[in-house]
Structure 1
């Protein structure tokens, strides 16, 4: 790159890194505070808390990166215009590519970074997070549940043990599961122990019973959760029984591997096993997730080229560059929302898949054609003028409200 190109790229890259760091930190903090109960109420260490919440960072960066590109490119080009640097570059008869090239390179770097996060890092991190949550739940039962105390490890899930042996065996276990409003299940056993195998983590119980109680139905056929049907209580005695603690993670317990499509690796989505329960039960979600991993990074380049198409050309202050920035933001936001819509539509039908690729690719080509040809499209200028008129009307209405005299209070005669 030439000196001026390196200068523009460094300014845009610095703004991008600062923006993505700040936005990711803000969003991460809001997400982390939601899981603070792992430390405060459920006895986990701060190290486990940080480890778990950090696993969502690849997904956050991947989602925030296009908007960070938008902010970085808009700030960089707007500052270059405000400092008359774009005027100087234009006066030297430099081609439009001199200004556009660093912006496109930034978009490509962000696209490659987003591709790595989308295809590899984010799925691996989410899969690890699923296993982490399962392990935390198991640790909660094994170490946090206290003797003689009813401990609620999840809404509707209550544990109680009479005594804990040094070898890890729990005596007199009581487990109440009321998460399903249609049935109430109570497990009780003389002995219980946490067992870890290759298939998962299990709560093994010996010499106990399972009591399942249904709720009564009203005349209309709906279940009355406040009216238990004691006549329908089923009691099953067992010598040995095990519960998979993975189902405490909130995933459908009918899925043996307990993974959602977004938590599967890209290779597992490209070459699914015939007996994969996740893909067989949710083929549309798996299809949409796979193609979204390839198309989502492209929006980094979409945002860079579309914003450059509006701001890479020299504009005077009369043309209200702020209106051009606002129109560019509205346009790229609309394109991103359309992308989300196509991703959701791909769950229902595979016909939407080609459009998932066509939308970002055509947007990139259109943006590059505008900036490289040096043209200012009439439609683009009309959008900016409409935005200016809209702003003028709002400012005029606000000014009239400010100048409107307040009615004087009536003077009461004595």
Structure 2
């Protein structure tokens, strides 16, 4: 790799890393705010909150990476054009296709990252989220018992906690257990804590009273206790985690287990997800090629690059939107998946052809004249004095 290639390669990847981190951070914050109830209402720690939301970041990267690469390529080309470096390299005999080569190297790096994330990292993160969510949901004391509310765990079992304090201390615990029709138990305790061990989960109550109503007895039995363990194991068992299609690794989608119940239930969606994973590393090449086709060719400083930038964004948006539409249709019609590959091949081929033929994409003259006339009219309208 020569000095020019190395310079463009480093600049593009540096810009990509900055844009990628910025976009991912903004979107991650918006998504993470939806799960803030993990700390406020379910009593989870900040580490649990960050862990659950952080595991979803690889999924965001799969969508953001091509866009971040497009912005990085546009930034690099705009920097080269501002310093007239593209014109100098073109005058020195460097063809547009040759100038496009370091951008291809950068795209290969981005594509490799997308392949790794799509094949293993993203589905593994979703699996961890599913397991973690199962454990949190199964934790009754964190998920069901809300301070100040009566929680009916079973038809004849009601528990209320007045307040939850730091350190897992539950203040003002009330339990009404009527599961046994011949033995009704009511418990009031000053405070309690959760104890989990190999024998199960227990709500350890301290400084309280237990009132037992037994069938055939006229008066209840009242017992004061300093420490009492109420068995909660039945309500703290994690459910079996069933992984969805997105939680499958790429090789599981390509060579699925014939006995997989999800494959038998949704065979078309199974294949559609596989094609989406295989297409993900191809999209960066299209985004880089279409951006270079609009912005990478030598032009004078009088030629506006605004139209070229808008044109590149519109083309990328149309092709990506068409890809999403075909992906949705492929969930019901398997052969449509082949059209997604054809769409990208044609889009990349047209972009490379424009680069090779050194075709500068400019707006039509009539459109430019109309825009200039509109701008002039607006300028005169702004400068017109207001009537007294």
TM over 0.5: yes
State the alpha-carbon separation in 1 of the partners of residues 380 and 89 from structure 2: 42
Secondary structure class of the residue paired with 1:123 = helix
C-alpha contact (below 8 Å) 2:42/2:142 kept by paired residues: no
Shift of 1:307: 0.7
Task: Please give the per-residue CA displacement for 1:233-285, whole angstroms capped at 9, x wherever unaligned.
Answer: xxxxxxxx989864xxxxxxxxx753321122223322333443323333332
Partner of 1:161: 159
Partner of 1:403: 383
Partner of 2:372: 392
State the alpha-carbon separation in 1 of the partners of residues 151 and 103 from structure 2: 56
Task: Please give the per-residue CA displacement for 1:323-358, whole angstroms capped at 9, x wherever unaligned.
Answer: 111111111111111111111110110121101111
Pair 1:350 & 2:340 matched: no
Change (3 A) 1:142 1:333: closer
C-alpha contact (below 8 Å) 1:151/1:160 kept by paired residues: yes
Extract structure 1 runs of 4+ deviating beyond 6 A. Answer: 193-196, 241-244
C-alpha contact (below 8 Å) 1:43/1:144 kept by paired residues: no
Shift of 1:104: 1.0
Partner of 2:133: 133
Secondary structure class of the residue paired with 1:145 = coil
Partner of 2:223: none
Which residues in structure 2 correspond to 1:15-164 (within 5 Å)? 15-141=15-141, 145=145, 149-151=149-151, 160-161=158-159
C-alpha contact (below 8 Å) 1:260/1:278 kept by paired residues: yes
C-alpha contact (below 8 Å) 2:52/2:132 kept by paired residues: yes
Which residues in structure 2 correspond to 1:168-179 (within 5 Å)? 172=176
Residue among 291, 303, 307 paired with 2:291: 307
Q: Which runs of 5+ in 1 are unaligned?
A: 154-158, 164-169, 176-188, 202-240, 247-255, 409-414
Secondary structure class of the residue paired with 1:161 = strand
Task: Please give the per-residue CA displacement for 1:139-196, whole angstroms capped at 9, x wherever unaligned.
Answer: 244687279842599xxxxx94279xxxxxx975699xxxxxxxxxxxxx98xx9999
Partner of 1:326: 310
State the alpha-carbon separation in 1 of the partners of residues 38 and 366 from structure 2: 52
State the alpha-carbon separation in 2 of the partners of residues 28 and 295 from structure 1: 24
Secondary structure class of the residue paired with 1:258 = coil
Change (3 A) 1:352 1:24: same
Task: Please give the per-residue CA displacement for 1:71-112, whole angstroms capped at 9, x wherever unaligned.
Answer: 000111011011011111112112334421111111111111
Pair 1:267 & 2:251 matched: yes
Pair 1:282 & 2:280 matched: no
C-alpha contact (below 8 Å) 1:324/1:384 kept by paired residues: no
Partner of 1:205: none
State the alpha-carbon separation in 2 of the partners of residues 74 and 29 from structure 1: 26
Q: Which runs of 5+ in 2 are unaligned?
A: 162-173, 186-193, 202-233
Change (3 A) 1:136 1:5: same
Change (3 A) 1:162 1:340: closer
- Say how many residue pairs are matched: 329
Secondary structure class of the residue paired with 2:100 = helix
State the alpha-carbon separation in 1 of the partners of residues 83 and 298 from structure 2: 11
Q: Tell me which structure has the larger Cα radius of gyration.
A: 2
Residue among 358, 364, 371 paired with 1:375: 358
Change (3 A) 1:88 1:49: same
C-alpha contact (below 8 Å) 2:137/2:143 kept by paired residues: no
